Chain A
Amino acid sequence: MRSQSEYGFFYQPKIMSGVAAMENIPVELDGFNARHPFVITSKEISSSGLAKKFVKALYDSNTIIGALYDDVPAYAGIGLIRELAQFLRDRGCDSIIAIGTGSVVDAAKGINIIVSTGKDVLEFEGNNAVLGHLKPFVVVPTATIAPYDLTGCAAIEGKEIISDYLFPDIIAIDTRMIRGCCSDSMRATALVSLTQALEAFLSPQSNHLTDAYASMALRIIAEHIVKAVKRPRNKKTCLAMANAATVSAAAFHNQLPGPVHSLGMALSKLTGHLPGLCMGALLPAALKLRSKKKEPFRSDLLLAVGGADRYAESAENDRANKGEAALMNLISSIPGIPQGLSSLKVPRHTAEEAIALAAKKEPALKKQDLEEIISMAL
């Protein structure tokens, strides 16, 4: 089995999850000698009252919020990031807090790069850019949190910057902030978590360290995903899903992205669908391809997805198959999951563009595999 000469594992953030997690931010920032954070978030979050909750949570502390910028749009361009970096400098802030997901977190990472290194974000495009230590960076996720946001990757203007230094230093998952709004967004979010955890778990480069995190993420997701989609405002399931995202982020960052993730991101970019939906539409196809190519699933997939009892009861050589069946069952039981790319109305020529895009971004993926996944999903 897996006999690589060496493998690394790194997960920088301190996770604080649960009741009154945000109240601990001042203490943690103080540990970094920071008392003057710059807070960014999006209009939706501030208008739904979550930003106010955050401000209230910081009452009775010594932390002065330098500015609460709540106008980050769904696409944060380089222009905005530069302006915000200048804003941060002008206010003399010493740390960054991002409330939200997606573009807010990416923008915060971009701002952090500019203010900490003094150079422009775009200079660091590509893998493992040497950034050096950045300013303390806190993420307060909301319901649509995907593992991707919590890793050391930043997607700015379609360019990816990956570095161990880009991790958030603190992730404060607060029960007040992570309640979902509707099944649709919850489904899309959960599917991203599922895909990223699954691909980290099934990756040929998996190792003991990433396995531990990926299988735990899968366990939590398998237990909660259906309920989370059905009842997106349930505090407990939301907390569980946010935790799953956090855990799978640890595995995801330390593995190469798999085909479904890459294709899903590319398709989402080209068609405007949420990434989760694209991934959900591709996932069954990718699994089928795997079994078609006779690449056996790992036996402990069943343990992660089906639970300990089912795993133990099954015969040893049967576990991989049962694991696959359990997984397929789980995916199909998610209410409203897109049935193939046709339900998303993705035409073939767009899908082909997505293949090219994904193959260019992740040269390690085999183009033939991507093509097969797409044609099966269509």
Chain B
Amino acid sequence: MQEIAGTSNKILEVDLATGSFTVGEISEKDRRDYLGGKGLGLKLLYDRLKVGIDPLSEENMIAFMPGVLMGTGAPCSGRFEAITKSPLTGIMVTASCGGPFGMALKTSGWDALIIKGKAKKPSYLYIDSKGAQLRDANKLWGKDTQETQTLLEKEGSGAVAIGPAGENLVRFANLCSGHRFLGRGGMGAVFGSKNLKAVVAKGGEYKIVPVNKKKFEKARKNLNAYINRNSITSGAYRNFGTNANVNLSNAAWILPVRNFTGGSHGEAHKISGETIAEKFNTKYHTCKPCSILCGHKGQFAGKERSVPEYETTGLMGSNLEIFDPVALAELNEICTRMGMDTISTGGTLAWAMEATEKGLFKSNLKFGSTENVAQTLKDIAYMRGIGKELAMGSRWLSKKYGGEDFAMHVKGLELAAYDPRGCIGHGLSYAVANRGACHLSTSLFTLESYFGMASPNAKRGKATMVKFFENVYAAMNSLHICHFTAFAVFLEPPLVKLTPVPMLKLMVQNLTPVALAVMDISLWPELWSGVTGKRLGMLGFKKIGERIHVLERYMNTREGISKKDDTLPVRLLSEPRKCDHTGKVVPLEWMLKRYYKVRKFDKNGIPTDRLLKRLGIEKK
């Protein structure tokens, strides 16, 4: 087997209209400036995409980027990134996934796959080291995500596919690889619009070896040790999956209840990770390779099903007031097979339920009732009946039917399962996150509500925190390594580990820039330089993160995003919750002003020319 030292740096560009492909090389400069994964993918699309195109037109492109660490055996590195223009939000969307397709693509010798154009008939794409082949997908069309992958099993070691939802252009349809997803932003619809059912990669043709083995091994060992020591990564998540968040969120009043009208619920324990693990005999069901092992499956009423992730539990469970784990697992299974994002689906259903209650919209959905929900999910996937409109997402629905105040989305992307009225810094993060209401751009709720390292109600310092974590996570997603390694990387180094939490809180809240500057995150850049053999320090790593974030922001501002879009649903800004006697809402305006300032954006939220120049982003 051939070896690739570090990265292959080869781009495979496929034009579906003709089935032809070209092979290109990623420039040295881009690799240095954008690391790989998310950052590099954005840069490649920045060079190729025209401004103002319709995301569902053939002009749109989708890029798949296996991470730099992929295949090297670094902990939790089995992830790849996809980047495209979202049909749900109309701006750039990036998503990360731990399915087998990443490894297959990387070991076929490609560091980037860019798909453009539109196939004349339903097809799927076969990829090996020689290039790409467009194949007829007649027998696959109409099959769900799991069936499709089973049918493609023989052709390659990893595939990414859409279900019926993607074929029917449901705006929040996702891409499925294995049983993991490129969830948000409706990438499935982009596939559907291109008549592309799946991409399968042969894989196993190359072996990836790090350039600087010694350095890499050292960093790998350290990170593994951290992960196995950290209470979240080696405890809560390993045992109960992300659903361990349910109890934490419920206690911190950030669990969405009844379309974000409440922050906690007495029955929430019924769907918590702990309860599910105990009742349904769960087993691991994870990405590969992985050291955290957060994915689980269990026996639900005699059927083996994936345990819903926290976001699914939050948005399709407590947010719809459904507290039945079996029903939840079934709904999760339907979304899995149809290929739909559970967060957006849950958010849209919650809107529909509330709008029905208020008389704005006609449907047979009701809070707290599982009746009709399963049927509605299928209707959405097949664009039948009311599903035809629900499939457009809550922004579109609320613009058509009214109810914009309780359409819980930012920039069109539905909110994840953390109510920012209980963690206002996270509210700012939702408002300014590049892809919409994204919980992963900073994950500030962990700091504010779970670990108590920042005050959830203080406005001060939040702008700086949001900027710092956005940068770091943007860089992290370019390595590309699992988001949850951040728990280990941030919490386990001696400085943080040994300082008492109240002291930490005091530091983070009052001396934010200093406290964040001394955080030791050097493991991530070390892994990267181990694999590529190039030098990269912590400062460089953060700067690259900033560059990636600002580039994405700049691409979005070219599409018309500005301050007017950096906002939260009216409900979060003006409606206090019943559970919260202090009547808190998110003081967004105050924080936003400071955020723009620390970000060096102008008052309207547009990156200044000086900033772009400093980061070396060429204006187009």
Interface residues of A (CB under 8 A from B): 43, 71, 73-80, 82, 120, 122, 156-159, 269-273, 344-350
A78: contacting residue among B51, B54, B360, CB under 8 A: B360
**Which residues of A are found within 8 Å of B404, using beta-carbon distances?**
75, 77, 157-158
**Which residues of A are found within 8 Å of B400, using beta-carbon distances?**
158
A273, B358: Cα distance in complex, Å: 27
Determine if A73 and B360 form an interchain contact, defined as CB atoms under 8 angstroms apart: no
Determine if A347 and B401 form an interchain contact, defined as CB atoms under 8 angstroms apart: no
Known: A75-B570, A78-B359, A122-B360. A157 touches B564 (CB 8 A): no
A79: contacting residue among B358, B564, B573, CB under 8 A: B358
Known: A73-B573, A77-B404, A79-B406. A344 touches B360 (CB 8 A): no
The answer to whether B53 has its CB under 8 Å from any CB of chain A is yes
Determine if B401 and A158 form an interchain contact, defined as CB atoms under 8 angstroms apart: yes
Known: A77-B402, A78-B402, A80-B405. A347 touches B570 (CB 8 A): no
Determine if B402 and A159 form an interchain contact, defined as CB atoms under 8 angstroms apart: yes
Determine if A347 and B360 form an interchain contact, defined as CB atoms under 8 angstroms apart: no
Which residue of chain A is the closest to B54 with respect to CB atoms?
A349
Looking at the assembled complex, report how far the CB atom of A232 sits from the nearest CB atom of chain B, in whole angstroms. Answer: 16
**Which residues of B are found within 8 Å of A80, using beta-carbon distances?**
405
A75, B573: Cα distance in complex, Å: 11
Q: Which of A157, A158, A159, A346 has the most CB of B within 10 A?
A: A157
A273, B51: Cα distance in complex, Å: 18
**Which residues of A are found within 8 Å of B155, using beta-carbon distances?**
none
Chain B stretch 218-272: residues in CB contact (< 8 A) with chain A: none
**Which residues of A are found within 8 Å of B406, using beta-carbon distances?**
77, 79
B556-586: CB near A (< 8 Å → 1, else 0) gives 0111100011000010011000000000000
Known: A344-B560, A350-B90. A270 touches B399 (CB 8 A): yes
Looking at the assembled complex, report how far the CB atom of A136 sits from the nearest CB atom of chain B, in whole angstroms. Answer: 27
**Which residues of B are found within 8 Å of A75, using beta-carbon distances?**
404-405, 570
Determine if A158 and B560 form an interchain contact, defined as CB atoms under 8 angstroms apart: no
A152, B84: Cα distance in complex, Å: 45
Indicate the size class of the contact surface on chain B. 20 to 34
Determine if B560 and A345 form an interchain contact, defined as CB atoms under 8 angstroms apart: yes
Which residue of chain B is the closest to A342 with respect to CB atoms?
B52
Determine if A348 and B52 form an interchain contact, defined as CB atoms under 8 angstroms apart: yes
Determine if B402 and A272 form an interchain contact, defined as CB atoms under 8 angstroms apart: no
- Across the A-B interface, give the 7 residue pairs with the lowest CB-CB distance, nearest first: A157-B402, A345-B560, A347-B52, A77-B405, A349-B54, A73-B574, A158-B402
A207, B360: Cα distance in complex, Å: 38
Determine if B52 and A77 form an interchain contact, defined as CB atoms under 8 angstroms apart: no
The answer to whether B67 has its CB under 8 Å from any CB of chain A is no
**Which residues of A are found within 8 Å of B405, using beta-carbon distances?**
73, 75-77, 79-80
Known: A345-B558, A345-B559, A347-B559. A78 touches B403 (CB 8 A): yes
> What are 12 sample pairs from A and B whose C-beta atoms fall under 8 A apart?
A74-B570, A75-B404, A78-B358, A79-B406, A82-B358, A122-B360, A158-B401, A271-B560, A345-B558, A346-B560, A347-B52, A348-B54
Known: A78-B402, A158-B399, A158-B402. A73 touches B570 (CB 8 A): yes
Interface residues of B (CB under 8 A from A): 51-54, 57, 90, 358-360, 398-406, 557-560, 564-565, 570, 573-574
Determine if B570 and A77 form an interchain contact, defined as CB atoms under 8 angstroms apart: yes
A157: contacting residue among B53, B54, B403, CB under 8 A: B403
**Which residues of B are found within 8 Å of A156, using beta-carbon distances?**
402
**Which residues of A are found within 8 Å of B57, using beta-carbon distances?**
349
Determine if B574 and A71 form an interchain contact, defined as CB atoms under 8 angstroms apart: yes
A269, B399: Cα distance in complex, Å: 7
**Which residues of B are found within 8 Å of A270, using beta-carbon distances?**
399
**Which residues of B are found within 8 Å of A43, using beta-carbon distances?**
574
Looking at the assembled complex, report how far the CB atom of B56 sits from the nearest CB atom of chain A, in whole angstroms. Answer: 9
Looking at the assembled complex, report how far the CB atom of B562 sits from the nearest CB atom of chain A, in whole angstroms. Answer: 8
A269, B405: Cα distance in complex, Å: 13
A71, B359: Cα distance in complex, Å: 23
Looking at the assembled complex, report how far the CB atom of A188 sits from the nearest CB atom of chain B, in whole angstroms. Answer: 11
Determine if A347 and B358 form an interchain contact, defined as CB atoms under 8 angstroms apart: no
**Which residues of A are found within 8 Å of B559, using beta-carbon distances?**
345, 347
Which residue of chain B is the closest to A360 with respect to CB atoms?
B400
A110, B293: Cα distance in complex, Å: 53
A80, B406: Cα distance in complex, Å: 11
Determine if B403 and A122 form an interchain contact, defined as CB atoms under 8 angstroms apart: no
Determine if A347 and B359 form an interchain contact, defined as CB atoms under 8 angstroms apart: no
Looking at the assembled complex, report how far the CB atom of B75 sits from the nearest CB atom of chain A, in whole angstroms. Answer: 42
A269, B574: Cα distance in complex, Å: 20
A212, B558: Cα distance in complex, Å: 44
A202, B77: Cα distance in complex, Å: 65
- Besides A71-B574, A345-B52, 8 new A-B residue pairs in contact (Cβ under 8 A), listed by A number: A75-B405, A77-B358, A82-B358, A122-B360, A157-B401, A157-B403, A345-B558, A347-B51
A222, B570: Cα distance in complex, Å: 36
**Which residues of A are found within 8 Å of B570, using beta-carbon distances?**
73-75, 77
Q: Which of B401, B559, B560 has the most CB of A within 10 A?
A: B560
**Which residues of B are found within 8 Å of A78, using beta-carbon distances?**
358-360, 402-403
Looking at the assembled complex, report how far the CB atom of B60 sits from the nearest CB atom of chain A, in whole angstroms. Answer: 11
**Which residues of B are found within 8 Å of A344, using beta-carbon distances?**
560
Determine if A122 and B90 form an interchain contact, defined as CB atoms under 8 angstroms apart: no
